[in-house]
A and B are shown apart, each in its own frame.
Chain A
Amino acid sequence: MFFSDFRKGLMVTLKYLFKKPVTENYPYEKIKMPERARWLHNFKAEKCIMCKMCVNICPPKCITMDIGKNAEGKRKLNGYDMDIDRCIFCGFCVEVCPTKAIIMTDVHEFADSNRNNLHFNMQQLASVGEGKTEVEEEKKAV
Chain B
Amino acid sequence: MSSSDIRTLELNMGPQHPSTHGVLRLVLQLNGEIIENTSPRVGYLHRGFEKMAENMSYQQFTPVTDRLSYVASMNNNLAYAIAVEKLLGVEDQIPERAQYIRVMVAELNRIASHLLWVATHALDIGAMTPYFYCFREREMIVDMFEEICGARLLYNYVRIGGVAKDITPRFMDLLKEFVKIFPDRHKEYNTLLTKNRIWLKRTKDVGVISAEDAINWGISGPALRGSGMEWDLRKKRPYAAYSELDFDVPNYPEGDVYARYLVRMDEMLQSIRILEQCIQKIPDGPVMMDDFKKITKPIKPPAGESYGYAENPTGELGFFIVSEGKNKPYRMKIRAPSFVHAYALPFMIKGSLLADVVAVIGSLDLVFGESDR
Q: Which A residues are closer than 8 A to B by beta carbons?
A: 5-6, 8-9, 12-13, 22, 33-34, 36-38, 53, 56-57, 59, 88-92, 95-96, 104
Question: Contact partner of A59 among B56, B149, B296, CB < 8 A?
Answer: B56
The yes or no answer to B148 lying at the interface (CB within 8 A) is yes
A13 to chain B: closest residue by CB:
B129
Contact (Cβ within 8 A) A91 B296: no
**B40 close to A (CB within 8 Å):** no
Given contacts A5-B195, A12-B188, contact A96 B146 (CB under 8 A): no
Task: Tell yes or no: B136 within 8 A of A by CB.
Answer: yes
A57, closest chain B residue (CB) = B296
10 interchain residue pairs of minimum CB distance:
A90-B63, A36-B150, A38-B150, A59-B60, A90-B156, A34-B147, A37-B150, A5-B195, A9-B192, A8-B191
Does B151 lie at the interface of the complex (its beta carbon under 8 Å from any beta carbon of A)? yes
Residue contact B150 to A104, C-beta cutoff 8 Å: yes
B350 CB, min distance to chain A CBs, angstroms: 31
C-alpha gap A6/B196 in the complex (Å): 7
Q: A57, B60: Cβ atoms under 8 Å?
A: yes
Contact A34 B295 (CB under 8 A): no
Q: Are A37 and B146 in contact, with the CB atoms below 8 A? A: yes
Q: Which of B59, B139, B294, B296 has the most chain A CB atoms inside 10 A of its CB?
A: B296
B154 within 8 A of A: yes
Q: A57 near B150 (CB under 8 angstroms)?
A: no
Most chain B beta-carbon neighbours within 10 Å: one of A8, A53, A91: A91
Nearest chain A CB to B351 CB, angstrom units: 29
Q: Can you spell out 14 A-B residue pairs with CB atoms less than 8 angstroms apart?
A: A22-B136, A34-B146, A34-B147, A36-B150, A38-B150, A57-B296, A59-B56, A59-B61, A59-B64, A89-B154, A90-B156, A91-B150, A91-B151, A95-B164
From known contacts A13-B129, A89-B151, A91-B156, infer whether A5 and B64 are also in contact, taking CB-CB under 8 Å.
no
Answer yes or no: B165 CB below 8 A from chain A CBs: yes
Contacts of B191 in A (CB 8 A): 8-9, 12
Q: Does B197 contact A (CB under 8 A)?
A: yes
Known: A36-B147, A91-B150. 6 other contacts (CB 8 A): A37-B146, A56-B296, A59-B56, A91-B151, A95-B295, A104-B150
User: Could you tell me the distance in whole angstroms from the C-beta of B70 to the nearest C-beta in chain A?
Assistant: 12
- Considering the complex, which residues of chain B in the window 190-206 have a beta carbon less than 8 Å from any beta carbon of chain A? 191-192, 195-197
User: Contact partner of A5 among B136, B196, B294, B296, CB < 8 A?
Assistant: B196
- CB nearest to B200 among chain A residues: A5
Q: Looking at the assembled complex, report how far the CB atom of B122 sits from the nearest CB atom of chain A, in whole angstroms.
A: 12
Which residues of B in the span 131-147 have a Cβ within 8 Å of any Cβ on A? Answer: 136, 139, 146-147
Minimum C-beta distance from B332 to chain A (A): 15
Shortest distance from the beta carbon of A3 to any chain B beta carbon, whole Å: 8
Q: Is the CB of A88 within 8 A of B63?
A: yes
CA distance A53 to B60 in the complex (A): 13
State the CA gap A37–B149 with chains docked (Å): 7
In the complex, how many angstroms separate the beta carbon of A38 from the nearest chain B beta carbon? 4
> Which residues of chain B are near A89, meaning CB under 8 Å?
151, 154
How would residues 169 to 212 of chain B score, 1 for a CB under 8 Å from any chain A CB and 0 otherwise? 01000000000000000001001100111000000000000000
Closest to B62 in A: A90
Q: Which of A8, A57, A88, A104 sits near B295, CB closer than 8 Å?
A: A57
Contacts of B43-79 to chain A: CB distance below 8 A: 56, 59-64
CB-based nearest B residue for A51: B296
